Chain A
Amino acid sequence: MLDLLTEMWSFTFMRRAFVATTILSASVAPVGAFLVLRRLSLAGEAMAHAITPGIVIGFVTTGLSVMSLLIGGLIAGVGVAILTAFLARRTILRSDASLASLYLIALAVGIFILSAAGSAVPLKSFLFGSILGIDDASLILVGGVATVTLISFAILLRPLIVSTCDPVFFEARTRRPWLTEQGFMLLLVLNLLAAFKTLGTLMAVGLMILPATAARYWANTITGQLVLGFVFALSSCWIGLTLSYLFPETPSGPAIVLVSGCFFLVSAVFGPLGFGRRMRKSAVSKEVPLAQIPQEERAR
C-alpha cells in the first residue's frame, strides 16, 4: 500500500491534482456552506449546468484553454444569474422556476453545440473531470479563484450571515442588498469554473454541497460549519484522488464526490444534529423532566 502511494506521489500530474484540489477545497467550502444555508443547494446544481454553453462555445472556438473556459463560463453564468433575477422581479415566476427554465435552455444549447462539434471533444472528461488535465494554467486559475473567494468572504461574511438568517432585517440595514446576493452568485460561478477541470460540469457542485451538508449535522456555529466543511472537502479530494489513481478507469469527479457522499451519510447517522440527536434525546428524555426541554424540541 505504502509503495503504491509513493508511486502515486512520484507522478507530476498526481502532485498537481493534490495541490489543485487542496486549494480548491479552501475556496469551495465557504461557497458551499452558504449555498446550503441560503437554501440554494439546487440552484448551485442548476448554475453548474447553466455555464455549460459558455464553456462549450469557448472550447469550440479556441480549444480547452483556461482563458476560454473562464470567459465563456463567466459570461454564461453571470448572464443566467442576471436574467433569473430579472424574471423573478418583473414577472410572476419565482427565482427557482426562472433559474430552472434558463439552465435547461442553457444545458440544451451546450450539449447541442458539443455534439455538433463532433468527436474532437473529450465528452467524458468534460462531464466528469480528469486529473490528467491539470496544467500550470489550471493551477493558476484555481489559485486565482481561491484568492478572490477568500478575500471576498472576508468582506462579505457578515452581510451574508445577516442576509441569510434574517433577510428583512438585512434589507432594513443596507442600501444595496443586491450587492451581497449578486456578489455571492459571482463567487459561485467562479468556483464552479475552478472546479471544472478536476470534477467536470456534472460533479463540480458536489464538492460544494456534500461537505457543507455533512458539516451541518455537526456544527452549531458558522465557524464550525466553515471549518468542518473545509475538512470534509479536503479529505474527500485526497481520498477520492487516491481512489481515482487506484482504479484508472474511474474519473476523478465521481470518485471525489462519492467520498463526500460517504461523509454525508455517516454525518447524517451519527451527527448530533442528524439522527444522532434523536438517539441522544431518547436517552436524555428518561432523566430530564419534560418542562426542562425547550418547547420546540418537545414539539418535534
Chain B
Amino acid sequence: MSTVLQLRNLSLGYRDLTLFRRLSMDIESGTTLAVLGSNGSGKSTFVKMLLGLMEPLSGNLKWPMGKPREIGYLAQMTEFDRRFPLRVRDLAAMGSWRGFGLRSGLNNASRVRVETALDEVGVLDIADRPLHMLSGGQLQRTLFARVIMQDAPLILLDEPFAAVDQSTEAHLLWIIRRWQEEGRAVVLVVHDLSSVLDHCSHALLLGRQEATHGTVNDVLTPDRLVAQGYLSESQASWMFRSAPSIVEPANA
C-alpha cells in the first residue's frame, strides 16, 4: 500500500465561509474513503479541491508518487445533459479523451477497451442505444464504464448511488471493490448511513467546521455523528438501537 495523496493542515471554504479547518490525512492506494456530512458541509467542495478545481484556504496537498495524469471522476448528475445525441459507447469512450487536437480520437486499442468496460458494467447489449432512452441505473453504469476508461490511480465518486436501484448498486459496489483490489484509491461521497459503508475502509466526516478522519468504526460513532450535526440525538439513539450493523462495517 502506498500513499497517493497527503493532505496537511488543510482548511477549506469560500471567502466568507469556512467549511472545515486543519485536516491532515493520507489517501492510500487500495483503500476506499467514505466522505459523509450533512448538506452544505463541503463534501462536493472537498472533491472539487482534490480535482484541482479550487484552492484550499490554507494548508497543502502533496502527491508523493507525482500528480497522476488522470483522476477518475463521477460528478452528481445535476448538470448532465441526457438529451445530447450520443450513444452509450460514445459516453464511455469519453473517458479516454485527452484534450484538444486533431488526433484526440479513439484508436483501435481504446475501442476494444470500451467494449470490455461496457461488458464489465453490464450495458454491452445496449451499447448503441441513445442516452435519452436509458434508465437512471443504465446511465450510471455507463458513467462507471467511463471511469474505467480513465484508468486512474485515484477515483472520486460524488454520490454515485443517488438514483439507482438495489441490483445496480450491488453491481457498482462490486466494481468499486475490484478497483480497490487493483490498488486504486477510491473516494466515495455518500449521503446516507447505509450498507455502502461496508465497502469502505476509512471515513471522513464533515460538519460544523470540523473534519474527522479515521477508520469507519472510529469515525462513525453516535457521539461523533451528533457532535458534527449529521444526526440529531433522537435519530442516533433510534438508529443505533434498531440497526447497529449499519455503522459496523465488516472489513474495517
Q: How far is the CA of A165 from the CA of B87 in the complex (A)?
A: 12
Taking CB atoms, residues of chain B closer than 8 Å to A97 are none
Query: Which residue from A37, A155, A164 sits with its C-beta under 8 Å from B100?
Result: A155
The residues of A with any CB-CB pair to B shorter than 8 Å are 37, 154-156, 158-159, 161-162, 164-169, 171-174, 179, 216, 219-222, 224-225, 294-297
Which of B94-148 touch A at CB < 8 Å?
94, 97, 99-102, 104-105, 130-136, 138
Q: Check if A221 sits within 8 Å of B73, measured CB to CB.
A: no
Closest to A295 in B: B135
Selected contact of B99 from candidates A37, A173, A295, CB within 8 Å: A173
**B133 touches which one: A169, A171, A296 (CB < 8 A)?**
A296
A37 & B94 in contact (Cβ 8 Å cutoff): no
Inter-chain contacts of B100 with A (CB < 8 A): 155-156, 158-159, 174, 179
A-B contact pairs, 18 of them (CB 8 A): A37-B85, A154-B102, A159-B99, A161-B94, A162-B94, A165-B80, A165-B81, A165-B94, A166-B80, A172-B75, A173-B97, A173-B99, A220-B85, A220-B87, A221-B86, A224-B85, A294-B133, A295-B135
Give every chain B residue within 8 A of A165 (Cβ-Cβ): 80-81, 84, 86, 91, 94, 131
Q: How many A-B contacts are there with CB distance less than 8 Å?
A: 81
Output the nearest chain B residue to A225 by Cβ-Cβ distance: B85
B26 at interface (Cβ–Cβ under 8 A)? no
Say how far A175's CB is from chain B's closest CB, in angstroms: 9
Give min CB distance, A184 to chain B, whole Å.
13
Residues of B within 8 A of A294 (CB): 133-135, 138
- Which residues does chain A contribute within 8 Å of B104, judged by CB atoms? 158
Q: Mark B189-216 against chain A: 1 for CB-CB distance below 8 A, else 0.
A: 0000000000000000000000000000
B76 nearest CB across to chain A (Å): 8
A155, A165, A174 — which one has the most chain B CB atoms within 10 A of its CB?
Answer: A165
Not counting A165-B80, A216-B85, A296-B133, a sample of 19 additional A-B residue pairs whose C-beta atoms are within 8 angstroms of each other reads A37-B84, A155-B100, A155-B102, A158-B104, A165-B86, A165-B131, A166-B79, A166-B81, A168-B79, A172-B71, A174-B99, A220-B85, A221-B85, A221-B90, A222-B90, A224-B85, A294-B134, A296-B132, A296-B135
A140: min CB distance to chain B, Å? 25
Chain B residue at minimal CB-CB distance from A171: B53
B7 adjacent to chain A (CB < 8 Å): no
Q: Which residue of A lies closest to B130 (CB)?
A: A220
Interface residues, chain B, CB within 8 Å of chain A? 51, 53, 71, 73, 75-76, 79-81, 84-87, 90-91, 94, 97, 99-102, 104-105, 130-136, 138
Residues of A within 8 A of B101 (CB): 155
In the A-B complex, the 4 residue pairs with the smallest Cβ-Cβ separation, listed nearest first, are A168-B75, A295-B135, A165-B84, A220-B130
What are the residues of chain A within 8 A of B51 when measuring CB–CB?
A: 172
A296 and B134 in contact, given A164-B81, A166-B79, A174-B99 (Cβ under 8 angstroms) = yes
Contacts of B134 in A (CB 8 A): 294, 296
Residue among B94, B130, B138 facing the most chain A CB atoms (10 A cut-off): B94
Inter-chain CA distance A81–B233, complex, in Å, is: 53
**In the bound complex, what is the Cα–Cα distance between A162 and B138 (angstroms)?**
19
B75–A161 CB distance below 8 A: no
Residues of B within 8 A of A222 (CB): 84-86, 90
Out of B73, B132, B135, B136, name the residue touching A169 (CB < 8 Å): B73
Set of chain A residues within 8 Å of B75, measured between Cβ atoms: 166, 168-169, 172
Q: How far is the CA of A276 from the CA of B80 in the complex (A)?
A: 26
A171 to B85, alpha carbons, bound, how many Å?
Answer: 20
A219 surroundings in chain B (CB, below 8 A) = 85
Q: Which residues in B have their C-beta under 8 angstroms from that of A167? A: 79
- B86 close to A161 (CB less than 8 A): yes
What's the Cα separation between A207 and B61 when bound, in Å? Answer: 50
> Min CB distance, B120 to chain A, in Å?
20
CB pair B86 A297 closer than 8 Å: no
Once the chains are docked, how many angstroms separate the CA of A282 from the CA of B127?
A: 25
Please determine whether A297 and B133 come into contact, CB atoms closer than 8 angstroms.
Answer: yes
Name the A residues within 8 Å of B102 (CB-CB).
154-155
> What residues on B are CB-neighbors of A166 within 8 Å?
75, 79-81, 94
CB-based nearest B residue for A177: B53
Give the residues in chain B near A174, CB-CB below 8 Å: 99-100
Give the chain A neighbours of B94 by CB distance below 8 A: 161-162, 165-166, 169
Q: How far is the CA of A166 from the CA of B53 in the complex (A)?
A: 15
Tell me the complex Cα distance, A118–B94, Å.
55
Please tell me if the beta carbons of B87 and A221 are within 8 angstroms of each other in the complex. yes
Most chain A CB within a 10 A radius of its CB, from B53, B85, B135: B85
